Amino acid sequence: MNPQNTAASHDDGAQGDASDRVRIFDTTLRDGEQTPGFSMDRRAKLRMAQMLEALGVDVLEAGFPQASPDDFAAVSEIARTLQGPTICALARCVPGDIDSAGRALERARHSRIHLFLSTSPLHREHKLGMSKAQVLDAAVAAIERARGLCHEVEFSAEDSTRTEPDFLAEVFSAAVAAGATTLNAPDTVGYTTPAEMAERFAWLRRNVKGAERVVFSCHCHNDLGMAVANSLAAVGAGARQVECTINGIGERAGNAALEEIVMALKVRAAHFGVDTRIDTRKLYPASRLLSQLTGQAVQRNKAIVGENAFAHESGIHQHGMLKHRDTYEIMRPQDVGIAETKLVLGKHSGRAALRQRLQALGHAPDEAAMDGIFARFKTLADRKREVHDEDLEAIALGQDPDALGPWRLVQLNTSTHLGGSASASVRLRHDDGREAGEAAIGDGPVDAVLRAIERATGSDLQLTDFQVRAVSEGGDAQGQARLTARHDARDWRGHGVSTDIVEATAQAALAIVNRIARQVPAATPAAVANL
């Protein structure tokens, strides 16, 4: 079978710019992964690729096979394993790259070689040392070579937005004649504005010969913070493929964020008149998985998938949300895979949100009691960034949320073994005078300490989040450990600070145990009506 014969059927026969569907070309595993700090091993790449397949991306750029043997192996494994998306491999317009990409994609159900070549005068002179004629010849030769090795070929004119329009149209016209089915006009350095991007794509659609037979694509970088805006402008001007990454990771300031583009097209569907095949309910899980695999956290205020994306602290906003969700949310958190809106209780929160949360926790104070609770809540909120459920329950029950005990750490010993497990022993003292000591083995010192504390206190904790950061500088810097653990179907939080991060972790775990221990059995609404 000639690989080229299946291209139209895989793409639903929707070539050119008349389609009302935007293809999502994900390059998280190529442009994103090659960024310092975001590297993934082969197993992590496959796991992320499977998540992207479940997400519904149309094209998955798995890597740059010629870059290294490991990259070749990763592309080959992904091509062999995945069945849904088109699997794409990057290649320069040189025979060795193209042949390597073809070999890596041999077992793909549907394959694409993504060729790129610089076209701007700056790149032609200083990067390539090539004339316009040489660039044209190299592009055509590369496309013709790649056509026999995959189902379809994409050609990218690197630094296209700083390329002379007439020459760019000439290169693209030659690419179409040579057999390319997708033309990508990337904003390689994030220099273009949305108005310029829209003008460029509209001009190319009018001036590229054979434009009706191909899909125009955009690949925007975020150096000036306009990658998503530029991508949406290109879509508005007829681009029907967007190249993007989960969480916007990529070279320098990153790429256009997949989740932002997809939700912009969904929320503003009436404006753009196009849609995607993305299962938006998997956007947040995909973001979380990437963060876990790379060890790189997502900024709290990140659009769509950030911790604050569906969180409200302002009393005015919270009051509006309690009246009608649409007052301050233009999309549902469930649409992107987040369980629910979060009304964060902090120093800006008002009485309405506090009462609503207390009621959810089973407390129904009358107005007189609410005055005292609200005053104590505001005092605590001035000292803390966020007031959690366990803090509120302590306030409602007349307790001190910051009280220590009943358990205190008396002794802590840990030991780690290279290539093996870790062990820890703890001795704790209760306010009633009794002591408890236990030892445990874990995957590491932190795990061992948590297990030992669980045994000593008789607690059952399921760790759901663990964060460590330095709170001072220098060799004797203090480290802060923040833990979230699930107990009895609720999340509990604790933090500890020490120059020894294992000790800080032990303090954080003990803070959670103590919070649980200080709680009294939940009362019925009638019993707490007069709190």
Consecutive 10-residue runs of the chain (531 residues): their mean pLDDT? 44 52 97 85 94 98 95 97 97 98 98 98 95 97 98 98 97 98 98 98 98 97 98 98 97 96 97 97 95 89 88 72 77 88 76 81 82 83 74 69 76 83 90 90 86 90 81 60 85 80 86 79 34 29
Q: Using CA atoms, how far apart are residues 300 and 286, in angstroms rounded to an integer?
A: 16
Kindly state the tokens that stand for 434: 């009794």
Q: Which residues of 29-45 are buried (b: 16+ CB within 10 A; e: fewer)?
A: bbbbbbbeebebebebb
Query: What are the start and end residues of each CATH 3.20.20.70 domain in the chain?
Result: 37-294
Q: What is the pLDDT of residue 342?
A: 67
Kindly state the tokens that stand for 43: 């197993």
The vertex-309 CA angle with 304 and 313, nearest 5°, equals: 170
Q: What's the length of the chain?
A: 531
Question: Could you tell me whether strands 490-498 and 479-487 are parallel, antiparallel, or unpaired per DSSP bridges?
Answer: antiparallel
Q: What is the pLDDT of residue 193?
A: 98
The three-state secondary structure class of 221 is: strand
Q: What is the pLDDT of residue 379?
A: 82
Which CATH superfamily, name and number, covers 407-518? Alpha-isopropylmalate synthase LeuA, regulatory domain (3.30.160.270)
Report which residue type is found at 422.
Answer: A
DSSP secondary structure letters along 235-267? HHTT--EEEEBGGG--STT-B-BHHHHHHHHHH
Q: Using CA atoms, how far apart are residues 377 and 361, in angstroms rounded to an integer?
A: 15
Instruction: Please report where in the chains the tokens 């179409």 appear, as a residue.
Output: 176
Q: What is the pLDDT of residue 74?
A: 96
Q: What is the pLDDT of residue 6?
A: 43
Q: Which helix (H) or strand (E) holds 351?
A: helix 351-360
Determine contact, residues 161/185, Cβ cutoff 8 Å: yes
State in Å, rounded, how far the first CA of the chain is from the last one: 77
Determine contact, residues 66/95, Cβ cutoff 8 Å: no
Instruction: Please report where in the chains the tokens 């005055």 appear, as a residue.
Output: 371
> Within 13 Å, how many C-alpha atoms sit on residue 76's CB side?
13
How far, in Å, are 176, 206, 270, 395 from residue 22 at the CA level? 20, 20, 14, 52
Q: Using CA atoms, how far apart are residues 355 and 363, in angstroms rounded to an integer?
A: 9
The three-state secondary structure class of 94 is: coil
Q: What is the pLDDT of residue 523?
A: 37
The three-state secondary structure class of 343 is: strand
Backbone angle region of 214, left / alpha / beta, with phi > 0 → left and psi within -120 to 50 → alpha: beta
Q: What is the pLDDT of residue 421?
A: 83
Query: What are the start and end residues of each CATH 3.30.160.270 domain in the chain?
Result: 407-518
Q: What is the pLDDT of residue 374?
A: 85
Which CATH superfamily, name and number, covers 37-294? Aldolase class I (3.20.20.70)
Q: Using CA atoms, how far apart are residues 152 and 86, in angstroms rounded to an integer?
A: 9
